[in-house]
Amino acid sequence: MSDVEGRKRELRRGILAARSRLSEEDVREAPRVLSRRALALSELGRARTVAAYVSVGREPGTRPLLDALRERGVRVLLPVLLPDDDLDWGVYAGAPGLVRAGRGLLEPVRPHLGPEAVTAADAVLLPGLAVDESGARLGRGGGSYDRVLARLGAAGRTPPLVVLLYDGEVLPRVPAEPHDRPVTAAVTPAGAHRFGPAGAWGTA
């Protein structure tokens, strides 16, 4: 294990432990506030297709945002975890169109569109545990979204990347590797943080 990987693993443990100590009220209220703040982002306001995900467990909740995007007429793509940890995609058609899959994930029912479907997204909502002031994102470590981002790059696609977090998860620095692609914005209950060139950032 490299030094960076070790530091990522340690930080993941700390953030997951902090999330486990959140009050039930914080976990319950966050999705509504996050949805409102995310919908105010111009990056999502312009999007006609958004690749997103269904939150599980103590992840910042995405369900109100998914429903709000769909009500706006946005085509919402949701991931389907493949046996090799790559991601296929399907269209979100509301809660009745979700099924419980492996690892407790909620995924869209068939038909699935193939891993390349994500290249049609005008914005991508990524899961994460933290970001830093340069936009570097700390993920869960499974590598699924590294493949998604590499696929977007290979297709010449650079959609805005947005991550939903709890307050306190925008940090001065997170461990990063050369292949880690920075996000465009992070949304927390307290506000939206945008990241620009040379580490410029601010709260919207």
CB neighbour class for 35 (10 Å; exposed up to 12, middle 13-18, buried from 19): buried
Q: State yes or no: pLDDT of 130 exceeds 80.
A: yes
Domain of residue 119, CATH code: 3.40.50.10420
Mapping DSSP to helix (H, G, I), strand (E, B) and coil, where does residue 124 land? Answer: strand
Element (H, E) at 26: helix 24-39
The 10s digit of each residue's pLDDT in 13-67 is 999 999 999 999 999 999 999 999 999 999 999 999 999 999 999 999 999 999 9
Give the pLDDT confidence of 134-146 residue by residue, as tens digits.
Answer: 999 999 888 899 9
Count of the separate structural domains present in the chain: 1
In this structure, what is the dihedral angle of CA atoms 149, 151, 156, 157, given to the nearest 10 degrees? -50
pLDDT at 201: 42
196 pLDDT more than 90: no
Q: How far apart are CA 56 and CA 181, in angstroms?
A: 24
- pLDDT at residue 1, rounded to an integer: 61
Distance, CA of 165 to CA of 149 (rounded, Å) = 19
In eight-state DSSP terms, residue 133 is: T
Q: Determine contact, residues 50/76, Cβ cutoff 8 Å.
A: yes
Q: State the pLDDT at residue 198.
A: 37
Q: Tell me the per-residue pLDDT of 139-171, one tens digit each, with 9 for 90 and over.
A: 988 889 999 999 999 999 999 999 999 999 999
Q: Is there a contact between 62 and 125 (Cβ–Cβ < 8 Å)? A: yes
pTM of the predicted structure, to 2 decimals: 0.92
* Binding-site annotation, residues for ATP: 8-12, 137-145
Q: Tokens 């706006």 correspond to what residue?
A: 72
pLDDT digits (tens, 9 = 90+) for 60-116: 999 999 999 999 999 999 999 999 999 999 999 999 999 999 888 999 999 999 999
Helix residue spans in 58-184 (DSSP H): 63-71, 144-154
As annotated, the binding site for substrate includes: 54, 59
- Binding site members: 8-12, 54, 59, 137-145
Residues of the domain holding 64: 3-203
Instruction: Give the three-class secondary structure for 198.
Output: helix
Say how far apart CA 139 and CA 10 lie, in whole Å.
12
pLDDT at site 197? 54
User: What is the helix (H) or strand (E) element at residue 192, kind and residue range?
Assistant: strand 191-195
What confidence tier does 176 reach under pLDDT thresholds 50, 70, 90? confident
Amino acid 202: pLDDT: 46
- Report helix angle 24-39 to 63-71, nearest 10: 30
According to the model, what pLDDT value does residue 96 have?
93
Query: What pLDDT does 107 receive?
Result: 96
* CB-based contacts of 168, cutoff 8 Å, min separation 6: 18
